[in-house]
Amino acid sequence: MDTYYNPKDLGKFSEMGEGAPELWKKFNEWYGAVFQAGALSEREKALIALAVSHAVQCPYCIDAFTEASLEKGADLEQMTEAVHVASAIRGGASLVHGVQMKNINEKLTM
């Protein structure tokens, strides 16, 4: 194995069902239902998934949901904005912890 991540492994995802077929079946049913149009459109869900894929830094998910977003009618502009949303939350999440730093700084210093 040259790398931990191999693009072809995405196609083997269903092999995860071999060890626990019932759990895999449940996961698939739930996963499928989640991405069906509901209060949110399929495109909105694909773009959310694309943003989350970047937040959790999953290359398989980025691959799958870039394609899914295109297939739901999104374009590069919309996908880039979705990635910025994920990035802003990740950046903001670090920054907001600065409040803790300030709290502790206040406690420890005169």
Partner 1 sequence: MQARHKSMKAFGENLAIANEQLKVINNGNSLPRFDEKFELVGEGRLKAAEIEIFQINLGKMCNQVCKHCHVDAGPDRKEIMKKETMQDCLDILNTNDIPTVDLTGGAPEMNPNFKWFVDEVKKLDLHIIVRSNLTILETNGFEDYAEFMANHKVEIVSSLPYYKKSFTDKQRGDGVFDKSIAAMKKLNALGYGKEDPELKFHLVYNPVGAYLPPSQLELEQDYKRELKNNFDIDFNNLYTITNMPISRFLDYLIQSGNYDSYMQKLVDSFNPVAASNVMCRFTISVGWDGQLYDCDFNQMLELNMDHGAPNHIKNFNLNSIRNRRIVTGQHCYGCTAGAGSSCGGATA
Q: Which residues lie near partner 1 (CB under 8 A)?
A: 37, 41-43, 67, 70-73, 75-77
Instruction: For residue 12, give the H/E element and its range.
Output: none
DSSP 19: T
Which ranges constitute the DSSP H helices of the chain? 21-34, 42-55, 59-71, 76-96, 98-108
Residue closer to partner 1, measured from CB, 55 or 70: 70
CB 94 to partner 1: min, Å: 32
Residue closer to partner 1, measured from CB, 63 or 85: 63
CB 71 to partner 1: min, Å: 5
Residue closer to partner 1, measured from CB, 22 or 77: 77
CB 99 to partner 1: min, Å: 40
Q: Could you give the CA distance from residue 68 to residue 62 in angstroms, rounded to a whole number?
A: 10
Residue closer to partner 1, measured from CB, 29 or 71: 71
Q: Could you give the CA distance from residue 65 to residue 74 in angstroms, rounded to a whole number?
A: 11
